[in-house]
Amino acid sequence: MKQFTIFGNPVAHSKSPCMHNMAFAGLGEDALYTRTLLQDGSKLREVFFENNFMGANVTVPHKEDALRACDEVDSFAKSVGAVNTIVRQGDKLYGYNTDALGFLKALQKFGLDIKSIVILGAGGTAKAISVILRDAGYEVTIVNRSAGRLESFKAQGFKTYTFEDFEASSYDLVVNSTSAGLEDDSLPAPKEMLAKLLSKAKASIDIIYGKETPFLKLSKTYNLPIKDGSDMLLYQGVLAFEKFVEGRHSFEEIEAYMKRAFI
């Protein structure tokens, strides 16, 4: 039986084992997907081979270590500096980033007419989704609490602001890509700033999944269509699974089984 896993710390909360095992069972693959709590990210490669894994997903805080653990990394994952999917072929590890494309798919399935997007947050996930959104033709602006993490966005030519120098204007979509609201009740930006953004927006998305965050609750008061991070999670999983099974099953088949983990 082929073994797959998700590396993270913490990892107990992860939905990935349930999603992938649903799809493996449904599609008749002789495979098992487990979770691996990894304290030291620099040990990822060693632990991967010790356990004879054939593939893995990687979550917080090991996506950068995962990139270093691979023999080859695809150009998109390299450009955003983070790997969330590893596939083994022989003695080599190949790294990919499916988070960003997962977000793009979720946005496309939202079915709204969106041209301009403001992303709140400048962490690893913001980095990945901002690049893919710009490549897909959206106009992307980044706003972050502090200046430090904005530097790499600025260097890539994005419009970047801290809360202090941001003049909230009109954007079609507001995305919360911070971890505000994940384990507390905080908003990702000052309430007055959010009020200005949400009152002019067509929709909002929070990439946090499994709960209605304060950001989504506030968005609802402006009667906006909202979406949490569940679809992004689903689609990054489907895209990773496609790589695990080397094209033996279609995107739609995988999606149909994986979706059952969300019922």
Question: Alpha-carbon distance 162 to 147, whole Å?
Answer: 6
19 forms part of the interface with ligand NDP (CB under 6 A):
no
186 forms part of the interface with ligand NDP (CB under 6 A):
yes
Q: Under 8 Å CB-to-CB from 56, ≥6 apart: which residues?
A: 4, 5, 6, 7, 36, 48, 85, 86
Contact call for residues 177 and 142 (beta carbons, < 8 A): no
170 forms part of the interface with ligand NDP (CB under 6 A):
no
161 forms part of the interface with ligand NDP (CB under 6 A):
no
Q: Cβ closer to ligand NDP: 17 or 121?
A: 121
Of the candidate residues 16, 98, 178, 213, the single one contacting ligand NDP (CB under 6 A): 178
**Is residue 115 annotated as a catalytic residue, yes or no?**
no
Stretch that binds ligand NDP, among 109-117, 151-159, 176-184, 195-203 (CB under 6 A): 176-184
Q: How far is the CB of 147 from ligand NDP (least distance, A)?
A: 8
Between the two ends of the chain, the Cα-to-Cα distance in Å is 27
Contact call for residues 79 and 157 (beta carbons, < 8 A): no
Q: How far is the CB of 50 from ligand NDP (least distance, A)?
A: 26
Residue 142 DSSP one-character state: E
- CA 13 vs CA 18, 125, 239, 262: distances in Å: 11, 18, 21, 14
Of the candidate residues 31, 229, 238, 239, the single one contacting ligand NDP (CB under 6 A): 229
Q: How far is the CB of 229 from ligand NDP (least distance, A)?
A: 3
Per the structure block, which two tokens stand in for 230?
A: 């569940």
Please identify the residue of the shown chain whose CB is closest to the bound ligand NDP: 123
Q: Under 8 Å CB-to-CB from 95, ≥6 apart: which residues?
A: 66, 67, 69, 70, 72, 73, 74, 77, 83, 85, 86
Q: Which residues, listed in sequence order, are joined to residue 34 by a DSSP beta bridge?
A: 5
Stretch that binds ligand NDP, among 30-38, 90-98, 173-181, 194-202 (CB under 6 A): 173-181
Catalytically annotated residue among 15, 63, 105, 243: 63
Of the candidate residues 144, 160, 204, 213, the single one contacting ligand NDP (CB under 6 A): 144
Q: How far is the CB of 45 from ligand NDP (least distance, A)?
A: 21
Chain positions contacting ligand NDP, by CB under 6 A: 60, 99, 121-126, 144-146, 149, 177-180, 182, 186, 188, 207-209, 229, 232-233, 236
User: Catalytic site residues?
Assistant: 63
